[in-house]
Chains A and B, each alone.
Chain A
Amino acid sequence: MAILADKTTRVVCQGMTGAEGAYHTAQCIAYGTPVVAGVTPGRGGERVLDRPIFDTVKEAVDETAANTSMIFVPPLQAADAILEAVDSGINTIVCITRGIPAHDMVKVKSIIRGHGVNLIGPNSPGMITSEEFKLGVMPSGIHKKGTIGIVSRADSLTYEAVMQTTQIGLGQTTTVGIGSDSVMGMSFVDVIKLFEQDRRTKGIIMVGEIGGDLEELTAQYIADEVRKPILSYIAGVTAPPGKRMGHVGVIPESGIGSAAFKCAVLAEAGVQIVQSPTELGSRMLEYFEG
């Protein structure tokens, strides 16, 4: 296995009895993920997808030795679900839920600091180690076992990078969607650190987005610590400055947040930049062949 999961991983799904939770958990099980239990308050004692359901995460951990959680709980209850998982000793949490109020998430962030918990998301498609282990909602079929680690904050665009590395034959080790909310758990740096240490990962693709300063903060770390080839596409290079672009907000003309600035600081840190997402696969291949 690659990063964030190994042979000891046992998964509990919080919110498995909901339509979304049940559908995607079934897909994860079919992919080979060791899902051992579900948690839905008030539904303890039932069985769903042939797994026991518990009222609390603590019970699930005590009974099934779960150590990893995937969360499909509705937005207003999701922060509580994350804190319950942390309190019960879960060490890796993937939160798929979208639309969690920011105030709930800052509280979560403040509490989990120093707990050594890996929180992926919220508002994340999850993570997948190709052909081994899936904790998320990404389409399974596009992933192929290989050598590229992919980290992305641009939801469905993540799959684009996956499809291209699959089509061109490189394949992936692990793909992690860190989510597109402003208050997030693991950052680009946290995931890239794991890829840099992972023996199977030979190259890294980072999919960023205009707005915010996440890519800028990652550049310094890459310059100092990353020796593996790293390729990046920043979505929105052609977006007109000064215009509000959906969730991204208003695009600054220059400086932090603008595409030009992000690309420049990443390039300076040794990152190869592609202008169009259709070049991700072929440029990575050039890296290895050239």
Chain B
Amino acid sequence: MNLHEFQAKQLFRAAGIPVPKGEVVDTPSGAVDAARRLGGQQWMVKAQVHAGARTEAGGIRDFNDLEKLHCFAQEMLGERLITAENSPAGQPVNQLLIERPCGVKNCYHLSVMLDPRSGQVVFQGGLSECRDSAELSDQSPGNFFQVEVDPVVGLQPFQSRQLAVELRLDRTIWPPFFEITQALYRLFIAKDLLLIEIGSLVENDHGQMMVLDVRVQVDNNALVRQPELAQWADYRQDENQVLGNGLGFIAMEGDIGCIVNGSGLALATLDIIQLNGGSVANIVEIDNGASTDALANACQLVWDNGRCSCILINIVGGIVRCDKVAAGIIDGIQKYNITCPIVVRMEGTRAEEAKALFIQSDEKIEIVKTLDDAIILLIDTPES
């Protein structure tokens, strides 16, 4: 799960990592009020979306005129920002972060992430391009280097020194840098983060270190033990998310709706349909955690008010039991009055019981043995 920049900075502030003074707002007049409260003659206005490359997309600007700032806020709020990193539809801007700018003397890049293969926490650093807008860009220059931290022993002081030397930091700013790296490591562990990506860790004109831009990702699997972060989820930002109730959703542009168990089988189903000339409207991926209600809901999601012309249910049960899935789906068909043709292919755990349920249900459902058979029913192949 991604956090917004303002949320990440809130975590940083609480952890003692210096960030610019700022306020988050959701109305144009609120933006002006915030700028007045922050004081000074110049303000950064930053659109809050879960994507990078916002500067190039016009989502981050600085103003020295409150009227222009108001106009920009009015344009931005409620619009969708399309950047090089998100989908063609962009993401909705519902909040703006207003900040005081700070003079930049030197600028660095610093990330903390997990290396799944070695089981280590990795600090990666490099010199960054110095820009006023100071936001992460993929084209950041400089060589990257990394320090690997064993999570069993934690970040050691010598590792912070290695980072400081590699970044060629002035010795006068070593002490605040050491504090920042230790605080980052503690935050990374305490909050179950998968990624902290600081695009601009800067040394300002007063010789202080400060984080101007940061991206933070939280482990979805850990949200149950991070309730305060779970509240920060912004589902309007990320399409095709795992919905968290045992269902995952992938929206496509075609006309065949699919209900499948497991992400691998979902991708395979997509491949088979598309290689045979069909097109997929959407895929709902179910797992063992899906309740009967969630399964009924899955039917409504794929049906999408009639946008799909037929539905393929492709379940190969293992830990997922086919009969439980069948019961939920029959429920959904009746509850949401789904009228399009439905083709069912079920194999594995309790598949026979499931097929019996479909036959008893009186719903018009075609049960097939193999995926090839399903394809023949779903796709009208042109006469050759």
- A277 and B262 within 8 A (CB): no
> How many A-B contacts at CB < 8 Å in the complex?
186
- A276 and B272 within 8 A (CB): yes
- A160 and B316 within 8 A (CB): yes
Contact partners of B119 in chain A: CB under 8 A: 105-110, 113, 183
Q: How many chain A residues touch B (Cβ–Cβ < 8 Å)?
A: 60
User: Which residues 226-265 in A have Cβ within 8 Å of B in the complex?
Assistant: 233, 235-240, 242-248
- A110 and B151 within 8 A (CB): yes
Q: Which residue of A lies closest to B189 (CB)?
A: A103
Contact partners of B264 in chain A: CB under 8 A: 152-158, 180, 207, 209, 235
Segment touching A, from B101-109, B172-180, B236-244: B236-244
Contact partners of B252 in chain A: CB under 8 A: 240
Q: Which residue of A lies closest to B249 (CB)?
A: A246
A21-42 contact mask (Cβ, 8 Å, vs B): 1 or 0 = 0001000000000000000000
A136 to B242, CA, bound (A): 25
- B263 and A247 within 8 A (CB): yes
Contact partners of B115 in chain A: CB under 8 A: 106
Report which of A75, A108, A113, A142 forms a contact with B348, defined as CB distance below 8 A. Answer: A142
Task: Report B184 CB to chain A, min CB distance, Å.
Answer: 15
A98 to B261, CA, bound (A): 14
A110 to B381, CA, bound (A): 53
Does B356 interact with chain A (Cβ within 8 Å)? no
Does B87 interact with chain A (Cβ within 8 Å)? yes
- A246 and B318 within 8 A (CB): no
Does B192 interact with chain A (Cβ within 8 Å)? yes
A278 and B262 contact, Cβ closer than 8 Å, known pairs A20-B319, A107-B152, A142-B348: no
Report which of A102, A108, A136 forms a contact with B222, defined as CB distance below 8 A. Answer: A102
Contact partners of A103 in chain B: CB under 8 A: 114, 151, 189, 192, 219, 222
A75-119 contact mask (Cβ, 8 Å, vs B): 1 or 0 = 110000000000000000000101111110111111101000000
- A142 and B219 within 8 A (CB): no
Does B275 interact with chain A (Cβ within 8 Å)? yes
Does A2 interact with chain B (Cβ within 8 Å)? no
B112-123 contact mask (Cβ, 8 Å, vs A): 1 or 0 = 001110111100
Most buried by A among B225, B267, B283: B267
- A109 and B221 within 8 A (CB): no
Contact partners of A65 in chain B: CB under 8 A: none
Contact partners of B347 in chain A: CB under 8 A: 139, 142, 159, 163
- B268 and A106 within 8 A (CB): no
- A246 and B248 within 8 A (CB): yes
A236 and B225 contact, Cβ closer than 8 Å, known pairs A106-B114, A243-B87: no
11 more contacts with CB within 8 A, not counting A109-B119, A139-B351, are: A76-B224, A76-B225, A102-B222, A154-B265, A156-B265, A157-B262, A158-B264, A210-B267, A235-B271, A236-B271, A246-B285
Pairs across A and B, CB under 8 Å, 22 listed: A101-B222, A106-B116, A139-B351, A152-B264, A154-B262, A154-B265, A155-B261, A155-B263, A155-B264, A156-B316, A156-B318, A160-B371, A183-B114, A183-B116, A183-B119, A209-B267, A235-B265, A237-B271, A240-B252, A244-B87, A246-B249, A278-B370
